[in-house]
Each structure stands twice: as C-alpha cells, then as structure tokens.
C-alpha cells in the first residue's frame, strides 16, 4: 500500500512540520491565581504572591528541560497600580524576593534576564534591581527569562508608536519605511521571537493586556491550576496541549497539503 501522510483528523500524535511535535520555543505565562490560592487557605493575599514566587522558581527550573528557550512571565501590569496600596507594595517587593533568592543561580546557569515594560513609574530601588539582573546576566545565552514588570501590551504599543513618531519628526526615520518589522523593533520585546504559547492558569480565559502584538499567532492554553501550585507537570501539560495543535499561521490546511494563504 502506498504510503500517505495522515490528515489532521487522523492524527493522534501530531506530525512533524507546522503544528508538529516540537516544543514551543517561546512560552509566556500570565501568573494568575495568587489571591485565590491564599483566600482558599484563609491566608492574606500577600502570602499568595510569595507562594507565586516559589512557583516561578520551579517553572524557570523546569522550562529548559521541556525544550523551552524563552520564558516570559507577567509580574506586574500597568493596570495593577489600581490595587490597594499595601498589595502594590507587596507586588513591588517580589522582584527583590525572587532575585535575592535566585539571581546567582540564574547567572551561573546561563540564564539571561530581561525586564519588559516601563521603568518610568517604578521606584529607583526596583529599577536598580531589574538593571542589575540584566547587567549580571547579559553575557548568558542558554535560556532567556523575560520579566514583564509595569508592562501593558497597549502601553508598549503606544510607547513604540511615540518613539517612531519622534524619530520621524526628527528626520531619522522615513514614515514610509514603517512596517511590522520596524514597528516590532520599537517594542520593549524587540529582538525576542514571537510567543509560540501563552499560558494562563487559574481558569481565567483572557490575555489581560499581555503581549498583544507578540501574541499574533500564539497558541493559547488555559489551565485550572492556581499559579502558586504550578509546577513542572503543569508546564508539561500546557506544552502537550500546544503540541496537539495545528499551527497554520494564516495558511490553510487542505486535506494533507499546507497551502500558504
Ligand atoms: C496575579 O494574581 C498575580 C500577580 C499580580 C503577581 C504575579 C507575580 C509573581 C507570581 C512573581 C513576580 C516575580 C517577579 C520576579 C516579578 P492575582 O493576585 O490577580 O490572583 P487572583 O486573581 O486570584 O486574585
């Protein structure tokens, strides 16, 4: 019998190629559910956020072994400033909690850290901490960890548009040359590969202003686990869901044939 490739409906295991068995290179996570995790235990939300830092450590440790090379996590959104002052102040203390515990290890293990979002608006000590994490890991290239902190997808797009407009007004940029590639170069995510997989634990099913531009062809996976309970098995399950998807990037699958469209 002549060999033939499987149609997408016949696949129990995804075939190689687009949508094939490879792991997502760039995974982005909305670390959600800290408050509910704490509430369920009768604890203050603060302790949920602290447990969230432990989940971040576990996830960063597990990601390279699962084939991930870029991991981007949502640590604080431009909208999170509207939370009660005491909670904002706890959230602002999380980078210190994380990097005090783990920066040496990240440095040693070849992880390059990059902070995404607006430095403006953050306290000088938080900016100094993010700068230090970037500086100390700048020579690393085994794994890339992006921490989105004071980040909003819309704010990032608006900031990029303003920078391009300023460059055009000063004659440094020809407006006619602005295309998707040039525009992406103005975002705080410039140089990163597009997100392959965006994961949101906690049962919520929305992006909440995370990576709006970069999510164009990302697969979205929503999981019921609350972020502080997230672990290697949770990430492996999200990746398995990704691997079962057919990624077509705007092309069309006509029976067995991938047609660019
Ligand atoms: C959302 O949960 C979570 C956050 C706003 C903070 C997440 C940040 C971390 C886990 C660590 C950050 C670490 C670094 C290095 C920046 P929520 O409070 O909205 O939970 P809820 O929806 O259950 O109330």
For ligand 1, whether the C-beta of 36 sits within 6 Å is: yes
Question: What's the pLDDT at 200?
Answer: 98
Report whether residue 57 contacts ligand 1, using a CB cutoff of 6 Å: no
Predicted pLDDT at 259: 53
The CA-to-CA distance between both ends of the chain, in Å, stands at: 32
pLDDT at 16: 40
Specify burial of residue 9 (Cβ count, 10 A radius: 0-12, 13-18, 19+): exposed
Closest residue to atom 18 of ligand 1, CA basis: 35
Nearest alpha carbon, ligand 1 atom 14 = 95
Q: State the virtual CA torsion across 169, 172, 173, 174 in degrees, nearest 10.
A: 80
Which residue's CA lies nearest to atom 12 of ligand 1? 75
98 Cβ closer than 6 Å to some ligand 1 atom: yes
| Number of neighbouring beta carbons within 10 Å of residue 132 | 13
158, 184, 186, 159: which is closest to 172 by C-alpha? 186
pLDDT computed for residue 37 by the predictor: 98
Q: Which residues of the chain have pLDDT under 50?
A: 1-20, 261
pTM of the predicted structure, to 2 decimals: 0.89
Q: Is the CB of 228 under 6 A from ligand 1?
A: no
**Where along the chain do its domains lie?**
25-157+190-241
Architecture of the domain defined by 25-157+190-241: 3-Layer(aba) Sandwich (3.40)
Burial string for 208-238 (b: 16+ CB within 10 Å, else e) reads ebbbebbbeebbbbbbebbbbbbeeebbeeb
Å from CA of 108 to ligand 1 middle = 26
């Amino acid at each position: 019998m002549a060999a033939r490739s499987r149609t997408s409906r016949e696949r129990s295991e995804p075939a190689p190629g687009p949508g094939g068995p490879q792991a997502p290179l760039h995974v982005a996570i909305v670390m959600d559910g800290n408050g509910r995790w704490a509430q369920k235990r009768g604890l203050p939300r603060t302790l949920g956020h602290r447990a969230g830092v432990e989940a971040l450590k576990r996830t960063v440790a597990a990601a390279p072994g699962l084939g991930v090379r870029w991991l981007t996590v949502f640590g604080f959104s431009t909208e999170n400033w509207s939370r009660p002052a005491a909670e904002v102040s706890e959230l602002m203390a999380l980078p210190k909690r994380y990097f005090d515990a783990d920066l040496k290890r990240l440095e040693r293990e070849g992880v390059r850290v990059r902070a995404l979002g607006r430095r403006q608006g953050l306290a000088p000590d938080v900016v100094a901490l993010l700068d230090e994490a970037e500086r100390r890991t700048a020579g690393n290239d085994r794994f890339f960890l992006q921490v989105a902190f004071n980040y909003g997808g819309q704010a990032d797009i608006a900031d990029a548009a303003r920078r391009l407009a300023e460059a055009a007004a000063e004659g440094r940029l020809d407006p006619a040359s602005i295309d998707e590639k040039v525009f992406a170069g103005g975002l705080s995510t410039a140089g990163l590969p597009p997100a392959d997989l965006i994961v949101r634990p906690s049962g919520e099913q929305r992006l909440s202003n995370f990576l709006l531009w970069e999510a164009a062809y990302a697969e979205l996976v929503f999981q019921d686990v609350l972020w502080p309970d997230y672990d290697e098995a949770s990430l492996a399950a999200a990746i398995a869901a990704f691997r079962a998807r057919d990624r077509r990037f705007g092309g069309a699958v006509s029976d067995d044939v991938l047609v660019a469209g």
